[in-house]
Amino acid sequence: MKSCIAPVQYSKGDNPHRVYKDSFSLHPQKELGGGNIWVGHYKSYTITVTQEHHQSDITEQDIRVECNPSDSSDTSISVYFPRGEIAKALNDFLNKTFA
């Protein structure tokens, strides 16, 4: 299966009021009894989405973001993961894939 492109936003320490947009890929990792685990990586973060129901039922609560503290990424960058937009991107991707 292809990957899903999801949004992320970040700001830099020298101008914290300016927001930059970027994206990362979510890939299916493994199938569960009725759903999938989707995993993506962005800088020192791992994003995990648990899909337990139908493809259009992913919500913000299904998304978990974890930071790897041993990663030595630039600490002057603040990263924001818009969970609602990530859920919408994955729902739209799944609806198109399985329509």
Query: Which sequence spans correspond to the domains of the chain?
Result: 4-97
Instruction: Give mean pLDDT, residues 57-82.
Output: 86
Write down how long the chain is. Answer: 99
* Range of weakest confidence among 7-11, 71-75, 95-99: 71-75
Whether the predicted pLDDT of 81 surpasses 90: yes
In the beta sheet, which residues pair with residue 1?
none
* Alpha-carbon span 17 to 78, nearest angstrom: 11
pLDDT at 9: 95
Its pTM stands at 0.85
Alpha carbon distance 84, 16 (integer Å): 22
CA distances (Å), 77 to each of 5, 58, 80, 83, in order?
Answer: 21, 28, 10, 19
Residue 99, C-beta contacts closer than 8 angstroms, at least 6 positions apart: none
Residue 52: the pLDDT is 77
pLDDT for res 61: 94
